[in-house]
Amino acid sequence: MSTQHKQAMDAVLQAAAHDIVATLQERDITDRHSEEGDLVVLDVAILHAYRIFMRICEENGLDVDAGYFADLAADLAEEVAQDQEDYED
């Protein structure tokens, strides 16, 4: 990973960390490692991924399609799960 990519990833992770803290506070969740806390982390991760998807599409003159994003994310999740299963076997 290039230095530029690493810096960009660090910035995204820092923004997500701030959003996680804010969302935990908004939802009055005190145990960050509870099931509710885990759901906040997943919600923020998905939201950030969607925001990045939107920006990339817009920057390249593509229509932003939430359904397409969801389909792509589901396909990717299936591929990753299959890769993990293959690795474990």
Tell me how many degrees the CA angle 70-53-36 measures, rounded to the nearest 5: 60
Residue 88's pLDDT is 83
Residue 74's pLDDT is 93
In the predicted model, residues of the chain with pLDDT beneath 50 are none
User: What are the structure tokens assigned to 15, written together?
Assistant: 């923004």
Helix ranges restricted to H, 1-89: 3-26, 35-59, 66-88
- Domain coordinates in residue numbering, the chain: 3-88
Residue 60's pLDDT is 96
Residue 86's pLDDT is 84
* Prediction pTM value: 0.78
